[in-house]
Chains A and B, each alone.
Chain A
Amino acid sequence: MKNIYQLLTCLILILSLSNFTVQAEDWGVPSSAKKKHNPYDANVKNISSGKKIFNINCKTCHGDPGKGNMIHLVPISPTDIGSQDFLVQTDGEIYYKINKGNGAMPTFEKTLNDEHKWMVITYLRSFDKSNRRSEKLAEVKNPEVTDVKLDLEIQDSSKYILAHLTGMTKKGKRVGLHGIEMSFLVKRNFGYLDISREDAYTDDNGKVETVFPYDLPGDREGHVDLLVKLTDDAFYGNLEKSQIVSLGVPTIPVNPLDERAMWGTRANAPIWIMVSYIGGVFVIWGVIFFVLFQMIKIPRLAQNKE
């Protein structure tokens, strides 16, 4: 009996797997879909926002583009979608595949909006060696610099945070670096909270600012750990700056064990439950002791035989 079950399971497994393989080979991209064009410019902004979306949604399976470090899945592992072999496909074809999914590749039709999907494609295209479009359109034209520095300026009263990105030119002049995205992060219990405003790119002077949220709690003194860093390490490496700032709302931490509660220690039991317990015990045992006490009377009552 057991053998039959094992055999059956094996059979079902084999059948479903073979079915899977058949499906996996066939994306069936219609030719009309292949002709679709990416309506977005291949500028630095779009590429870097595409990278962000890719890192959140695709990297877990596909790994870093061009590095071939995807996870291994059966029967078909995710493609390295930064490789030249893959990038021969048209934008429309890639767009269609992201939308539809296939086998272990999920569909992103509803999970990502059109703009985001095109951004990802723009990002992937930036790895395409045969396509010079992205370079042509690249906007960032910062001079070549050394000794890149990130400085922070904080105004406690208005909760205003200004980041200033500068570098030293060959001529020995410190200039602002523009068009670089910056992330403003605040450390919370489980990781970092992003408080950057939208389009947090440095301006022509290399400056970008954000406002610290008015309702974000800090410790007793309002201290929080602030971390400001370059969102994309492609330009000047992993440059970041962390600092303790007192911009948070001063908050006295509550220990849930300090209040009277069902989960509390005995000393912190809710009053009503203590009253019920102690009261109940006193009343019931009071009556018991009363009865025990009354028992003493029985021998005495033997005397008066009225």
Chain B
Amino acid sequence: MNDLPKQEETTLSFEKIKKDILHPLQNHKGLELWIVFLVTVIAVCGWAYIVQLRDGLGVTGMRDYVSWGLYIANFVFFVAVSLVGMLISSILGLLRIDWITPISRISEMIAVAFVAVSGLVIIMDMGRPDRVANVIIHGRFQSPILWDITVVTTYLMISLLLLILPMIPDLAICKNELKKASPIMKKIYNVLSLGYINTPSQHKHLHRMIKTLMVLIVPVGLAIHTVTSWLFAATLRNGWDTTIFGPYFVAGAFVAGAAALVMAMYFFRINYKLQDYITDVQFDYMGKLMVAVCLVYLYFNLNEFLVPGYKMKTGDDVHLKELFTGHWAVLFWCSQLLGNVIPIILLLMKKFRKPLPLMLISIFVLASAWIKRYVIVIPTLLHPHLPIQNVPENFVHYFPTGIEIAVTVLSFALALLIITVLAKIFPVVPICEIAEQRGIEVKIED
């Protein structure tokens, strides 16, 4: 996997790499418009959140039975997407796979944005967000909620460090090159670059730190999504009460994360004119990686549905029939086929691993991944062990209200805004690592 094709060996100089990668940071009008658009969306949807804050969770579609609705499904989705940071820059990075160099920073930016917002989503799901500190003050060690809050913050911290540390050499370059940057930005570059001038001892020291964090994030990354799955699997509910939920969620997270990364890669390649860096090779490998993670996920899905479906034990039967042929069948089969089976088949062919087709397939995969989380969370709550009796009509069904949808859109806008701002102030492709990889000498002045 380590052989980059010959055509890659273009005559790139360090100056050209710097120019190519830093250029979009200062001269990109479209990006500013996009930020304005996102801020508008956030303002409008933020109003919906204010309404929820004012009137309470009664404005959502959640009632006594479905007490975890769109928000929690969305939370699981966000955590899942954020796992791409650990997959690409840590697991593949530790394996010294070199095609990931140009995309590792994008994956880390996605990780930071999505895990940060996932924490916010949980808070948005609280009727009294001012009580969030009670989880820490009164939290029980036995409760998966305490563990979840802990791993989410820990993963955010390590992801942030894994975004910033490998970027230190590039930040030193930014400090020197971006003359037009605002004084605040100059200050940020100055502080964050930590006086790095690429001496051999600095280089060695920095890489030892990065290595440590790359190892550290693997268990934490596994933990964040395993603990998220325990929020479900630690209950006795049909559809959640299963032993494979941890690895099942992790596998699903890799699928969602890979799809999100492909979309971001495509966006930056086109918008930042990075065709020389994020090349067809990266897309080809991402396509193959997607097949691999989809196959693992498919395998877990087989276990997750075939085995209980064969037994059809009481309780599970209602749940499974609703998924397979009942009320949830369309969503369920869409997520399985469009998000898993068909992508595997298509991506086995080289022509579908070209940037545009792969990006289009990734949209389906990502949308299906989102739907899949919805189908995991809500149907189970609608099938409690004791029959639903003598309750108001709106307890029996669940459909998200406008407020809920708006707040969910808000979370997406926030995540996109974080990624955009990061990509606006930091180089999205690692300059120094690319140069080193291609045998070009890195020069950073004092």
Contacts and interface: CB of A to CB of B under 8 A. Distances in A.
Contact of B201 (A274, A284, A295, A306): A306
B157 A288 contact: yes
B98 to A, nearest CB: 24
A288 B216 contact: yes
B199 A302 contact: yes
Interface string B186-201: 0000000011110111
Given A277-B147, A306-B200, A298 B205 contact: yes
Given A287-B212, A305-B199, A298 B206 contact: yes
B182 interface: no
B150 interface: yes
B161 A291 contact: yes
B139 interface: yes
B195 A281 contact: no
Nearest to A277: B141
Nearest to A264: B142
Given A270-B142, A273-B142, A285-B154, A299 B161 contact: no
Contacts of B168: 298
Contacts of A173: none
B220 interface: yes
A15 B200 CA distance: 92
> Does more than half of chain B's interface fall in helix, strand or loop, or is it mixed?
helix
Contacts of A262: 142
B13 interface: no
B168 to A, nearest CB: 7
Contacts of B209: 291, 294-295
Contact of A266 (B138, B154, B165, B220): B138
Interface string B209-220: 100110010011
B142 A269 contact: yes
B139 A304 contact: no
Interface residues on A, range: 20 to 34
Contacts of B199: 301-302, 304-306
A297 interface: yes
Contacts of B194: 295, 298-299
A263 interface: yes
A23 interface: no
Nearest to B206: A298
B42 to A, nearest CB: 30
Among B140, B157, B197, B205, the one with the most A-chain Cβ atoms within 10 Å of its Cβ is B140
Contact of B197 (A266, A292, A294, A302): A302
B205 A294 contact: yes
Interface in B126-177: 138-142, 146-147, 150, 154, 157-158, 161, 165, 168
Nearest to B210: A291
B202 interface: yes
Shortest 5 CB-CB distances between A and B: which pairs? Answer: A299-B195, A269-B141, A298-B194, A266-B140, A301-B202
Interface of A: 262-266, 269-270, 273-274, 277-278, 281, 284-285, 287-288, 290-292, 294-295, 297-299, 301-302, 304-306
20 contacts: A263-B142, A265-B140, A266-B138, A266-B139, A266-B140, A266-B141, A269-B141, A277-B147, A277-B150, A284-B154, A288-B154, A301-B199, A301-B201, A301-B202, A302-B199, A302-B202, A304-B199, A304-B201, A306-B200, A306-B201
